Amino acid sequence: MLTTMRHLLLFISCVCLSPVKPALGSLPAPPSAPKKNVLFLVADDAGFEMGSYRKKVVQTPNLDALAKKSLIFNNLFASVSSCSPSRASILSGLPTHQNGMYGLHQSVHHFNSFDGIRSLPNLLRDHNIYSGIIGKKHVGPSEVYKFDYEATEETHSIMQVGRNITKMKLLVRDFLEKKPAEPFFLYVGFHDPHRCGHTHPEYGAFCQFFGNGETGMGHIPDWHPITYDPTQVEVPHFVQDSLSARRDIAAQYTTISRLDQGVGLVLKELENAGELNNTLVIYTSDNGIPFAGGRTNLYDSGIRLPMLMSSPFHTERHYQATYAMSSHLDLVPTVLDWFSVPYPTIDISQNQLLQPLTGKSLLPLLIKEPTDNGEAIFASHNHHEVTMYYPMRAVRTKHFKLIHNINYRMPFPIDQDLYISRSFQDILNCTREKKPIHWSKTLKTYYYRPEWEFFDLRKDAEELRNVAGKPAYKETMEDLKSKLLKWQEITKDPWICSPNGVFENSGTFKDNPACLPLDNLDF
């Protein structure tokens, strides 16, 4: 196995790319084998703020009703903590460093997946499954992520197709009326509860005033706004407990309630069209909530997410929880398994092997909880905004978490909409004025991180005590390092030798890829 010890030339053995089948323990089809569809409901920067995850203040009756007909995931993780990279991973089944979507897709950031990536809609089209996307898409190129029906920010206002739940309802109805008789895959990308103080400050920090009927705010007919008292909200452990942060959370709650009502409208459209009882419904979010410690971090607060999976054909575990280690990288295999579609091993147009999937189908969890507790999930992060270069890799089991901060000599970057938020300005101002922050971290420890962070989650679920280097954890940490390195090899991670080596795999090194030492950490 490859290591990155300084002053040492080590070689990587080539990884064989064997065919990967998505159906790992597939479920038997129902006796009548009715037409089966899939509905993805993807929230934008949403966390566990919903009643079914034991939150008592925020009101989410529609998501809670869906949870009663779903398997509730308690160990579901994004493979990256940024919007476009996460959505690309959800739709391709490949981590960000393998699919090429290293950062945000829009505007000056301009990241795109590689041209040869085979995304879900393109794979399904080859098997006569009609695909549609409504709301936030935020990935490219368009040909790589080409849906048969599209109503996204590429041709509409994101405020209308991502936050106006009446407009979204009508678009879902239009999709269902226009679709052919064949099975369908519909992806609905809500823009709630993303911050909007950076782009649309006139609507409030989280666009909580957009469409509420007040002067200049417009009106969303199907939305019944719910406002929250900042003193009553539940503050996550990684957010400072201050009035500024509480006001942000209260605004966030309002847009979570709008998202929730939108989910109810979408499901009602499926029911009215007679499709709800033959559709696998999956609700999740792209990454953690947009507070310091959340989105763009590989701590659990940045990548551990809610997920509900509701199958009308498999009701054995409705309203039960699974603790199986699961990843967004498992969603493509799950959908392919649902439709009995194989994942191709060869790109005929390019006459080359396709990159294999490392995920697994989650459908067997609808029947039975696995007994194996040793499985790990992996995460890979490179950018958010184009200026935010801070590559990280992580591996997590049920009991331990290892994070490799590759760019650890630089301060951790802050994105634009977080920076201007009340909650982050509160941290900045209190630090400058040497006032108490009421936070689990300091600004200095948040910015400057060691190369390796290792957490014993049995004793430290909030990931506050780094035990890397402690003798008692040496063997376990080395084991996770080996697992992480192996995953980087399998997924052909270009950062595999960073930060103290250069990866060479062509020319002289074509048959023996190697990490060549930089001697750059001795100063």
Two structure tokens written together for 416: 């634009």
Two structure tokens written together for 201: 């400050």
Cα-flanking dihedrals φ and ψ of residue 51, to 5°? Answer: -60, -35
Please state, in angstroms and as integers, the Cα–Cα distance from residue 294 to each residue in 46, 108, 121, 164, 288, following that order.
10, 23, 30, 26, 5
Is residue 497 part of the annotated active site? The answer reads no
What is the C-alpha to C-alpha distance for residues 147 and 369, in angstroms, rounded to an integer? 34
What does 255-266 look like in DSSP terms, one character per residue? HHHHHHHHHHHH
What is the C-alpha to C-alpha distance for residues 292 and 288, in angstroms, rounded to an integer? 10
Q: Please tell me whether residue 134 adopts helix, strand or coil conformation.
A: strand
3-state secondary structure 269-336: HHHHCCCHHHEEEEEEECCCCCCCCCCCCCCHHHHEEEEEEECCCCCCCCCEEECCCEEHHHHHHHHH
Location of structure tokens 């993805």: 40
**403-432 core/surface letters (b: 16 or more CB in 10 A; e: else):** bbbbbbeeebbbbebbeebbbbebbeebee
290 neighbors 195 (Cβ within 8 angstroms): yes
297 neighbors 53 (Cβ within 8 angstroms): no
What is the C-alpha to C-alpha distance for residues 437 and 443, in angstroms, rounded to an integer? 9
* Closest by Cα among 431, 426, 423, 442 to 195: 423
Half-sphere exposure of 437 (CA within 13 A, CB side): 23
Please identify which of the residues 16, 83, 430, 515 carries the catalytic annotation: 83
467 neighbors 459 (Cβ within 8 angstroms): no
Give the H/E segment covering residue 169: helix 165-178
What is the C-alpha to C-alpha distance for residues 27 and 309, in angstroms, rounded to an integer? 14
> Running DSSP on this structure, what letter comes out for residue 397?
-
Q: Please tell me whether residue 230 adopts helix, strand or coil conformation.
A: helix
User: Given the DSSP bridges, would you call strands 71-77 and 320-322 parallel, antiparallel or unpaired?
Assistant: parallel
Q: Please tell me whether residue 477 adopts helix, strand or coil conformation.
A: helix
Angle between helices 165-178 and 243-272 (to 10 degrees): 30
Where in the sequence numbering do the catalytic residues fall?
Answer: 83
